[in-house]
Amino acid sequence: MKAILCLEDGKSFNAESDLEAECFGEVIINTAVVGYQEMITDPANAGKILVFTYPLIGNYGCAPKFSESTKVWVSGLVMKEKSKMYSNWQAESSLDDFLKAHKKPAIYNLDTRTLTVYLREKGPLIGIISTLEFDPQKLLDKINKFKQQPIKTKLAEVSVQKLYSLGKARGAKIAVLDLGVTSGLMRQLETLGFSLTVFPYNASAKQILGSKPKGLVLSSGPENDCGLETVAQNIKPLIGKLPLLGVATGGQVLAKALGVQLIRLKFGHRGVNYPIARPGTFKGEITVQNHAYVLDNNSLHKIKEIKVTAYNLNDHTIEEIESKKLKMIAVAYNPVSAGFNQASAILIKFSKLLGLPKGRQARR
Amino acid sequence: MPRRKDFKKVLMIGSGPIVIGQACEFDYSGSQACKALREEGYFTILVNSNPATIMTDPGMADVTYIEPLNVDILTKIIAKERPDALLPTLGGQTALNLAFFLMKQGVLKKYKVESIGASVEAIACAEDRDLFKQAMQEIGVDMPKSGIARSVKEGMKIGLEIGFPLILRPAYCLGGSGGGIAYNQEELETLLSKGIQTSPVHQVLVEQSVLGWKEIEFEVMRDCVDNVIMITSMENIDPMGVHTGDSIVVAPAQTLTLQEYTDFVYLCKKIIRKIGISGGGANIQFGQNPDNGKIVIIEVNPRLSRSSALASKATGFPIARVATKLAVGLTLPEVMNQVTGKTTSFFEPTIDYCVFKICRFTFEKFPHAERALNTSMKAVGEAMSIGRNFKEALQKGIRSLEIKRFGFGADGKDKITDAMLKNPDALLFKQIEDKIRIPNDERLFYLRYALKAGLSIDEIFALSRIDRWFLQNMKQLVELEEKIKQYRNELVDEEPKMPAELLTQAKADGFSDIQLAFLLNTKEAKVKQLRKKSSVKPAYKLVDTCAGEFNAKQPYFYSTQETKDEARPSKNKKVVILGGGPNRIGQGIEFDYCCCHAAYALKEEGVDSVMVNCNPETVSTDYDTSDRLYFEPLTFEDIMNILEVEKPLGVIVQFGGQTPINLAVALRAAGVNILGTSSENIDIAEDRKRFKQLIDKLGLLQPNSGTVFTFAEAQKVARDIGYPVLVRPSYVLGGRAMEIVYEEELLEKFIQEAAEVSGEHPILIDKFLEDAIEVDVDLIGDGETFVIGGILEHIEQAGVHSGDAAMSLPTHTLGPDILKKLREASYRLAKELNIIGLMNVQYAVKDAKVYVLEVNPRASRTVPLVSKVIGVPLAKLATKVMLGKKLKDLGFTEEVIPPYVAVKESVFPFNRFPGVDVMLGPEMKSTGEVLGIDMDFASAYIKSQIAAGQKVPKSGNVFISVHDRDKRDIAFIAKKLKDLGFNIFASSGTASVLEKNNIPAKVLPKINEGRPNILDLMKDGKIQMVINTPSGRIPRQDEVKIRSQVVLYNIPYTTTIFGAQATVNGIEMLIKKDLGVKSLQEYHKMKCKKVK
């Protein structure tokens, strides 16, 4: 059936859909070629309308083991062509069936490239996907109504409700503050041999310290959430007391706790091909990123203990900061596994901050 | 890190002639590298034996050597130029092997030359099967079970342990030549002996077969500070078992999960680090079991490759340029991404389209060759297409191939019709199944037949092991075809009717107007009208390396069906250049050279150049060759769409070979301004009747001829003009189906063959001038002034296609009277045809008479080499002339006769087609060419032979067996060989002639009559050269066996008496003195004779 994506500035794009649907959200673009299941199940994308620039989506189907969480968090998917079949030995269902089970709409046959270029030039916009309403004015009215809804934190939804443990019982104890943690991150921490205690997003510094962890990891999750300010205040007392690692949104929270401001980019970094470089060197890494907010340089410079350890080579925004004194690292990118479940370099670096006795050092 | 300052002079080795497995992709990478080196301020020395390349243009490097590529010659060049560094990673396997052997023989050490890009250790690690296997074991990367055999016996033992089927790969061989798949002991033995022979180090890898596994490739780059990036992944549609150069390939990989992709990336990084590439790129090939995901590594190419050229063009990332910068010590973050103009090369390109690569084969040239595809590459060229989905890319890819197909079937050209497929009988089913099970060049079309005949995706997968995702996409095309067919014959006022929505969908899935016309039972033009009426037109999208994330500065374009057109036609004056499409025999790099020069000339004249081409191997499809590049098929529909957007002042059709010339009439009829010689005059030259009138009018001579449609007519014409006659179809490339017929009994067969190729056009019958000397003349004109670029004398007698013949420039046996006649005739033809641009005339000289054989009002294959020999860029001048400039103002008004001699020799793909006769004839068979330059003919000729890969002997045994009519001439040749110290072996007939002339020769028995015969001696390495001229059109079995064996054992051979003469003279020269080396720049400084 016919479908439409309408943006808050009135620009609309025709598409098709197999299911009746209506949903809202900020329209974001991801330039990765593979990983649709991981993206839509990543709590960091909660409430977004996700557009894939790669035109062929669904080719290799879906399997539960690839999900970053138990839910599909995006409010809708936008693609050029939804594959009519899937082919991979691990696949257990089609993307279609996966989305049906999670009751999430996907629209296709949309000129995703034109949409991408449009958003690149216009900056962030809210949009509506609909198969029910095509009248431009009515669609805009709906968007306005959506925008006027009281702002609620998504953290309560994406985070665990109660503390739980996993990983090797005899491993070094690490606390994870779940701001929308991905199973990919958890898997890497497990690979490193840690014993993990996962705290809900609103856990207090005292609660965390109470579990006697060797360090704390603040996970990725939805950006610019109204609940993050509180989280930052909650963990502030831990700075300098415990080795800390903030990942993506978790990193922003750490920065906030230190008093660093955040700035919104016109066009977010969302994809798997972002180069970061170490200041003063020619060495860098290609990273996976999914953020539209970056640390403000001016407010960061005021904090003496903090050093910028990596910046984005394309636009020179800050991607990684570190304080040896405070034993903390914050990264804006997503430290994904390097392959074969190997932990990413930054997690290994973090594990070295923990001051573990030799032999209990995390294994690579 | 800044570029290295510890060296100044860099030597670059090119890849030599175009052969199967090594085509113009290395001109593309080499040219980019030359530019990159000079940008960084290095003094660049280039060596390549291939004169048709852009890289050997005198302006590309500081010093350019067109010399044979072997250790001996390179040592001389190194000793003379004293480079500090050697960049061997951009000249294919040829350059890499040479670097390796230069190291082994201590040359690099002696002259203190460092191998940059890939150290010799890295080359050895990737190329030496033992070292590679060990390295992969050390990092825990699985390989198929294998062993290295140095003898047949050893290989048999390894093979039987692993079990069948087995893959055999000779070490240090390009394009998998000499390799194959063995299913049983017998095949294993044959392949082993062949492979050990083929491998320059006499090693063969005997390997567990992973037939039917997925084949996944990655292009990887690494700099000196260990930054590693993936350029793209690629997935072969043909699973393991077909050489990747023959496979249909898509980019990016379509059926990998994120986790699998990440795992592959992890392995790639591990491998490139282990191999030790620290300033360059590599192509890494994997096999993956589709049932359980198990990954094995197949091979690593520590250099630029065909795949990296494809990856470059597919993503917009200039791998060769960046690899060169990394080789001189820069890091990825320091090299700008010129396509975006904003970011650096330290990123991974991401794409928002689907890229499809499909190969061009020329089995029609080698009718006795096996059409099945295996691990030895057979394709001569390739086309790349881009679409927003797989289906569109697939259909565009097929029509880019120029095999007279206009999509995935349904174009009126299907061998098996829909009616037959509705009720297929058992026989047809079997045929379809066989064609799907055994990979071959027609498999794609048979997949469609299978789908139409009702085979399920699973059944087709079981037969072909082609991933179901690809098959399902093909099925969608078949379904859409049916949907469109519902509107067949539904004409409204004679116009086809079809809902705009369906038309848009058909276009989005890549259906061409011709396919739609066939399905709707109407004409192409009517479909075009329907499109216009329904406002269905293509949008042009960008190849920008970043999926639209940045506003690209220098992107290129592809057509698709979308809502917004991103084409950027400028307001400047502009000219569209039509390229040559995929390489094939008869049309290759020479024409790409001309197209590039057209773009350079336009730039110099301040006119925007707009290039249209679909060959990813070429320099013309480089992002910075033209102002705008459209990566599109060269069909009427696709070109017209571009012209409607760009609205150029004209189109250049002279440079892309036969492809654009064939389109000229239709374009002209559509109101397109064709630049240069008028289409009226093109028609006079191409139309037999009008051309004859012209010849008569000018009082020139032409061999007697006639045009016929039937055998009866042919019989009459042939009797009238007298045998032998030359039979040829009209409108063909590279002498397709051309034959010399000596007697009436054979005429019927050839007329039939010619009629098949000729179609509705008549067959031409010419008197064949036996033993005539053929001459090629290249000429440039501006309508007022006409200047000969070069007069090239063929070495072989008439009857050998000019694309295959060796040629000498200047001429070496023609007297002044003949030359005068040739010049006069050429100028009169040019004047009469009012040539604006280039023209090529072919003559036959016999009994002091000059006969005109053919006039081509376009750039010929010899334009690049003539330009280089005389030091005048003819194609560039021709472009300027087409824009209205005069030769007088351009300073080229007199023919240049160089004081040195250049000999062109052709290179043949016979080693790819075992058992095929190597005899030369009027049908072109060569894939590439080399040039030998020296101060005398004999030295230049022998250089050309060495450059063409002949292992010219200085002593040993020569086998001679010639046709009766050559027996007079052979006595002198044999005498000379004897005097030079060679032993002569001969067939009984030839030996008796030699004995009468007092030349002792050992008689060898006929193959079936006794042993050891010539085959045994060749096998034992006891024959160093073979001279064998064919005894007639239907060769004797003995001869064919001998001639196909020389290829197998790489024994120098000649099949013409004139070739034999020149070779023996050359050997004499070689024995007397050492060959010297001289750069093109040095030659150009010599004073030339001028002819008014």
Count of beta carbons in the 10 Å neighbourhood of residue B722: 10
Contacts of A283 in chain B (CB under 8 A): 225-227, 331
Looking at the fold, whether A182 and A290 belong to one and the same domain comes out as yes
Tell me, what DSSP letter sits at residue B318? Answer: -
Cβ distance of B468 and A87 shorter than 8 Å: yes
Chain A contact for B254 (CB, 8 A cutoff): yes
Chain A contact for B388 (CB, 8 A cutoff): yes
Contact yes or no for B885/B1079 (Cβ under 8 A): no
Cβ neighbours of residue B119 closer than 8 Å, sequence gap 6 or more: B276, B278
Cβ distance of A338 and B262 shorter than 8 Å: yes
Cβ distance of A113 and B252 shorter than 8 Å: no
Alpha-carbon gap, residue B928 to B864, rounded angstroms: 13
Chain A contact for B25 (CB, 8 A cutoff): no
pLDDT, average across residues B341-355: 95
By DSSP bridging, strand A244-247 and strand A215-218 are parallel
Burial pattern A260-270, b for ≥16 Cβ within 10 A else e, equals: bebeeeebbbb
- Indicate the residue of B258, B332, B348 with minimum beta-carbon distance to A66: B258
- What would the two tokens of residue B542 be? 């960008």
Q: Which residue has the tokens 């960046």?
A: B322
Looking at the fold, whether A166 and A101 belong to one and the same domain comes out as no
pLDDT score, position A125: 97
pLDDT, average across residues B949-974: 92
- What would the two tokens of residue B490 be? 């539904």
At residue A359, does pLDDT exceed 70? no
At residue B786, does pLDDT exceed 70? yes
Q: Which residue has the tokens 């009718």?
A: B367
CA A169: distance to chain centroid? 28
At residue B199, does pLDDT exceed 50? yes
For A181-185, A285-289, B6-10, B341-345, which range has the lowest pLDDT when averaged over its residues?
B341-345
Contacts of B228 in chain A (CB under 8 A): 286
Looking at the fold, whether A187 and A112 belong to one and the same domain comes out as no
Looking at the fold, whether A252 and A276 belong to one and the same domain comes out as yes
Cβ distance of A282 and B290 shorter than 8 Å: no
Looking at the fold, whether A92 and A159 belong to one and the same domain comes out as no
Query: What is the tens place of the pLDDT at every residue in B243-299?
Result: 999 999 999 999 999 999 999 999 999 999 999 999 999 999 999 999 999 999 999
At residue A321, does pLDDT exceed 90? yes
Contacts of A114 in chain B (CB under 8 A): 562-564
At residue B75, does pLDDT exceed 50? yes
**Count of the separate structural domains present in chain A:** 2
Cβ neighbours of residue B1076 closer than 8 Å, sequence gap 6 or more: B76, B934
Q: How far is B223 from chain A (nearest CA, A)?
A: 9
CATH number of the domain enclosing A342? 3.40.50.880
- Indicate the residue of B252, B266, B331 with minimum beta-carbon distance to A282: B331
Confidence bin at B1092 (pLDDT 50/70/90): low
Percent of all residues in chain B with a pLDDT value above 70, rounded to a whole number: 98
Contacts of A314 in chain B (CB under 8 A): 342-344, 347, 550
Cβ distance of B352 and A116 shorter than 8 Å: yes
- Indicate the residue of A34, A55, A282 with minimum beta-carbon distance to B257: A34
CA B848: distance to chain centroid? 37
Nearest chain A residue to B293 by CA distance is A89
Cβ distance of B348 and A272 shorter than 8 Å: yes
Confidence bin at A364 (pLDDT 50/70/90): very low
Confidence bin at B1032 (pLDDT 50/70/90): low
Nearest chain A residue to B353 by CA distance is A55
Cβ distance of A85 and B290 shorter than 8 Å: no
pLDDT score, position B453: 95
CATH number of the domain enclosing A10? 3.50.30.20
Alpha-carbon gap, residue B14 to B27, rounded angstroms: 7
Cβ distance of A286 and B343 shorter than 8 Å: no
Cβ neighbours of residue B332 closer than 8 Å, sequence gap 6 or more: A275, A282, A284, B221, B223, B227, B229, B322, B326, B344, B345, B346
Nearest chain B residue to A65 by CA distance is B259
E strand or H helix that includes residue B990: helix B988-996
Cβ distance of A84 and B255 shorter than 8 Å: no
Angstrom CA distances, B632 to A266, B639, B641, stand at 34, 8, 10
Alpha-carbon gap, residue B946 to B933, rounded angstroms: 12
Chain A contact for B351 (CB, 8 A cutoff): yes
At residue A357, does pLDDT exceed 80? no
Cβ distance of B564 and A111 shorter than 8 Å: yes
Tell me, what DSSP letter sits at residue A288? Answer: E
Using CB atoms and an 8 Å cut-off, which of residues 321-350 of chain B contact chain A? 331-334, 342-344, 346-350
Contacts of A35 in chain B (CB under 8 A): 258, 261
Cβ distance of B262 and A339 shorter than 8 Å: yes
pLDDT, average across residues B884-894: 96
Cβ distance of B262 and A336 shorter than 8 Å: yes
- Indicate the residue of B332, B469, B541 with minimum beta-carbon distance to A59: B469
- What would the two tokens of residue B312 be? 């470059």
Confidence bin at A363 (pLDDT 50/70/90): very low
| 3-state secondary structure at position B1067 | helix
Percent helix, strand, coil in chain B, to 5, is 40, 20, 40
φ/ψ of B1040, rounded to 5, equals -60, -40
Query: What is the tens place of the pLDDT at every residue in A137-177?
Result: 999 999 999 999 999 999 999 999 999 998 877 889 999 99
Chain A contact for B352 (CB, 8 A cutoff): yes
Looking at the fold, whether A127 and A184 belong to one and the same domain comes out as no
At residue A204, does pLDDT exceed 90? yes
Chain A contact for B566 (CB, 8 A cutoff): yes
B838: left (phi over 0), alpha (psi -120 to 50) or beta: beta
Which has more confidence, B746 or B55? Answer: B55
Cβ distance of B389 and A38 shorter than 8 Å: no
Looking at the fold, whether A143 and A177 belong to one and the same domain comes out as no
Q: Nearest to residue B862, comparing CAs of B837, B883, B886, B841? A: B841
Looking at the fold, whether A37 and A89 belong to one and the same domain comes out as yes
Q: Which residue has the tokens 């004797």?
A: B1036
Contact yes or no for B901/B790 (Cβ under 8 A): no
Count of beta carbons in the 10 Å neighbourhood of residue A308: 16
Q: Fill in the amino acid letter for B397.
A: G
**Mutation choice for B interface testing from A38, A56, A94, A188 by most B CBs within 10 A:** A56
Q: How far is B213 from chain A (nearest CA, A)?
A: 12
Nearest chain A residue to B343 by CA distance is A314
pLDDT, average across residues B1048-1065: 90
Cβ distance of B548 and A117 shorter than 8 Å: yes
Chain A contact for B547 (CB, 8 A cutoff): yes
Looking at the fold, whether A174 and A125 belong to one and the same domain comes out as no
Looking at the fold, whether A188 and A333 belong to one and the same domain comes out as yes
Q: How far is A286 from chain B (nearest CA, A)?
A: 7
Nearest chain B residue to A90 by CA distance is B292
Chain A contact for B479 (CB, 8 A cutoff): no
Cβ distance of A31 and B350 shorter than 8 Å: yes
Query: What is the tens place of the pLDDT at every residue in B15-62?
Result: 999 999 999 999 999 999 999 999 999 999 999 999 999 999 998 999
Mean of all residue pLDDT scores within chain A: 95
Contacts of A271 in chain B (CB under 8 A): 350, 547, 549
Contact yes or no for A119/B568 (Cβ under 8 A): no
Angstrom CA distances, B206 to A208, B168, B180, B198, B829, stand at 60, 5, 10, 14, 60
Looking at the fold, whether A136 and A175 belong to one and the same domain comes out as no
At residue B173, does pLDDT exceed 70? no
pLDDT score, position B175: 57
Which has more confidence, A110 or B180? Answer: A110
**Mutation choice for A interface testing from B222, B254, B256, B257 by most A CBs within 10 A:** B257
Confidence bin at B731 (pLDDT 50/70/90): low
pLDDT score, position B1035: 61
Looking at the fold, whether A249 and A298 belong to one and the same domain comes out as yes
Cβ distance of B262 and A314 shorter than 8 Å: no
Enclosing domain of residue A29: 2-147
**Mutation choice for B interface testing from A11, A34, A191, A315 by most B CBs within 10 A:** A34
pLDDT score, position A361: 52
Cβ distance of B549 and A120 shorter than 8 Å: yes
Nearest chain B residue to A32 by CA distance is B350
